[in-house]
Chains A and B, each alone.
Chain A
Amino acid sequence: MFLKKLILTSAVATLICSAAFAKDCGPSGQSIRILASDFPAIHAVAGTAEENCAASASEFTRNHTTEARQIMNAALTPNPAEYTSVIVANSTLTQLMNDGLVRPLNDLVEKYGADLPKNLMITIDDNIMAVAFMANSQHLFSRKDILEKAGINSIPGTYSEMIAAAQAIRKAGIMEYPIVMNMKTGWNVGESFNLVFLAHGGEFFKPGTAEPTVNSAAGIAALNTLKALVEYAHPDHLTQASNETQAIWEAGEAALGIMWGSRGSVILDDEGSSEQVTSNTVLSSAPSVKPGGIPGATLWWDGFTISKNVSDAEAEATFAALASSLNSDMVAANNDDAIWLLEGFKPGAAAEGVSATAQGGAVPYPMLPQIGLLHNALGSELSEFLKGNESAEKALADVEAAYVTAAKEKGFLQ
């Protein structure tokens, strides 16, 4: 299994320098200020860092907010910066790097992170810009009882199998709208396009440039696949994001879903749903176009960065504190909160979907400086096509035109 391999590579290194020593919190008397998103896994990492190192710091504050992405650039721009560290993901790291607000961590990793697995270091050329600790991706959720009732005995592996299964469920009169996907206009619908686009082997930009290439054969094929899928999704799908799709699933009103892996453990737990739903929900790889093809998903990591505009001592103390939390004890205490990339993680049923998707060769969400603009253009221009008012070509031409306008304003295109 992909995750096991990931973890195994690190296990040996970690065993050698086991956590038997007292936590090394770096220079004492420093101020540590962390800005992070607000979900259990992030609380676990930042909280453990606080437990370990708050005593030796003059100040230890954590700001967990879902608005982290919106405020982080403004908060890190002044010198000294408002926060010494921001916990980021693929796309948000680019947002900070575009403005040069995070520092390379090579020397700090050498000093405090020697026991951290090498593959967790997010590097640009030879500079380590972030240290990842957990993974996430979208994948397929299936209700095996409903599939069986409709006469389908295997979990769909491709988009056409998924559509055929949905058709069979509708024909059998079990559900009118068996599919759920995060299609809310804006970021979510853009991301749903990305998944199918990548599964069709699409490239977002001409390599090495900021020129868009979504209006391509892969783009049109992706939109048509998406359209075929949402035929079987509730008519309100353009208003549904993760919270809504999860609720629909837990209410037992869907049989096939493309949702985030991080929702896996929440769906499988004994809260908010019935035994029938939880015991029959199967998590598997995101569907591909052809059997064994690239799964339609984007791989995400979450990791921490250190601000550029803070003193070296503060940076060192912050890094040491956060690095001290990335160990098997923390993982053991919070095993089901995330798909940890750290030693000691025991992948349960909730991790199977992400694991299979990663193993199937899904690609990471692109870390390109201009991807946010394209994603935004996709999010706002695709709804006309999905409502049936526009051809796929026209929708993609609109996306490119909207992106080019924004990219010119941001200086990515001339």
Chain B
Amino acid sequence: MILFIAIPIGSAFVQSLFIQHDQVLVLSKNCGPFGCRETTSVDIEATKELRQDSPLGKFNGIGTYLNRSHLAFAEVGNAWAVSRTFSGFLNEVLDLPFYGALMFTLTYTAVVTPLVLLLGLAIAIGVNGLPNIIKGPSIFVSLLPFLVTPLVGSLILFWMVDGDGIIGATIQLIFNDPDLSLKASTGLTWTMLIVYGIWHTLPFSFIVFYAGLQTVPVDTLEAAEIDGATKWQRTVYVVVPHLVPLITFVTLMLLMDNFRVFEPIVSFSAEAHARSLSWIIFNDLRESGNPLYGSAGATSILTIIGVIFLLTPVLIRNWRDFKLRRL
């Protein structure tokens, strides 16, 4: 626990409290194949001295958490003061990187989680009712989306939804609009990512529920049947209550998984329309050449706090059930 969880989180937190030392810039003349020009460069000697004194950087407290890339209290306050309508205010806030990403991440989590739970349960019950001879193959087929690496799976889907791809071309044909593109509009891109998310995580909830169904007591089911309960009533009043601990478990896993949605955004090249918290961390660490460790650390900590917020209701419920059962 300490080695694998506490230390990494602690170090990300400590890192997020620091920013880099002031760079000492000097004017210099830069020449190359395309001529000479004035430029600035970093005075390595002067900067090095600063770095050696305190290698972590300059202490910034929670400054990084409050800046424009994160909670941006100043910008949000300003937007509140300037905007005349609430929707204007909302637009301003969602234009800030953190809130924009939070919006997508929450939407994704809120749509994908319940749908995966419901559909997973439905498929599990359906497969469970199949004759034995085709049960094996159907389980295997239902698991397939889970076997494809997310990065590869979404890349394949990305090509399929292209205007020249099989799905994209079919959709254009159905709507009779040769310019319809799933990649060009924000709404359609979100839908595409969410559909992909459901497709990809469905097997996980399916297989867990399927395993759970094997433990439903046959006696109770038969008793209910004798009492005249319909198949639907048996599912709702016998099977589902029996699976509640599993449903809690799957919900926990799905919430954590969906809150860190990342790979499909990169593979679908969806950055223009949808960004998630994990994508922001990736962008901070990779895109600017010199990584912004403090910023990435702060976003990581905020993501962890977000996950805790989401999980708390489920955990509280779980705890209550646990205590009830012990009484």
Where the two chains meet, the residues of A that have a C-beta atom closer than 8 Å to any C-beta of B are: 6, 69-70, 73, 91-92, 94-95, 97-100, 119-125, 132, 135, 176, 184-187, 207-210, 234-236, 238-239, 299, 301, 341, 358, 363-364, 366-369, 372-373, 375-376, 379-380, 383-384, 386-387, 390, 398, 401-402, 404-406, 408-412, 414
Contact = CB atoms under 8 A, between A and B. Distances in A.
Contact of B39 (A132, A367, A383): A367
Nearest to B295: A409
Nearest to A300: B34
Interface string B6-33: 0000000000000111110101111111
Contacts of A366: 39
A299 B95 contact: no
Given A238-B273, A358-B34, A410-B290, 10 more contacts: A125-B29, A186-B287, A210-B40, A368-B40, A369-B41, A372-B288, A373-B290, A390-B95, A406-B292, A409-B295
A236 B183 contact: yes
Contact of A380 (B28, B283, B294): B283
Interface stretch (B61-69, B203-211, B237-245): B61-69
25 contacts: A97-B44, A119-B33, A122-B30, A122-B31, A124-B41, A132-B33, A135-B33, A186-B271, A208-B40, A210-B23, A210-B25, A239-B272, A341-B33, A364-B32, A367-B41, A369-B23, A380-B271, A383-B273, A386-B272, A390-B95, A401-B75, A405-B67, A405-B69, A409-B20, A411-B20
Contact of B269 (A184, A341, A367, A387): A184
**Considering residues B38, B290, B294, B295, which has the most beta carbons from chain A within 10 angstroms of its beta carbon?**
B290
A23 B265 CA distance: 50
**Considering residues A95, A97, A368, which has the most beta carbons from chain B within 10 angstroms of its beta carbon?**
A368
Given A95-B290, A122-B32, A366-B39, A411 B181 contact: no
Contacts of B23: 98, 210, 369, 410-412
B181 A235 contact: yes
B43 to A, nearest CB: 10
A91 B64 CA distance: 27
Across the A-B interface, the 4 shortest Cβ-Cβ residue pairs? A100-B44, A235-B184, A372-B289, A239-B269
A153 B289 CA distance: 43
Given A135-B33, A176-B179, A368-B40, A376 B19 contact: no
A398 B20 CA distance: 23
A125 B184 contact: no
A246 B25 CA distance: 40
A363 B34 CA distance: 8
A410 B22 CA distance: 7
Interface string B92-130: 000101000000000000000000000000000000000
Interface of B: 19-23, 25, 27-35, 37-42, 44, 47-48, 58, 64, 67-69, 75, 95, 97, 162-163, 179, 181, 183-184, 186, 268-273, 283, 286-290, 292, 294-295
Contact of A6 (B27, B33, B67, B290): B33
A109 to B, nearest CB: 13
Contacts of B31: 119, 121-123
A238 B189 CA distance: 12
A376 B23 CA distance: 19
B109 to A, nearest CB: 22
A94 B181 CA distance: 39
Nearest to A298: B34
A236 B58 CA distance: 43
Contacts of A91: 289
B48 A97 contact: no
B288 A409 contact: no
A376 B287 contact: yes
Contact of A412 (B25, B30, B44, B269): B25
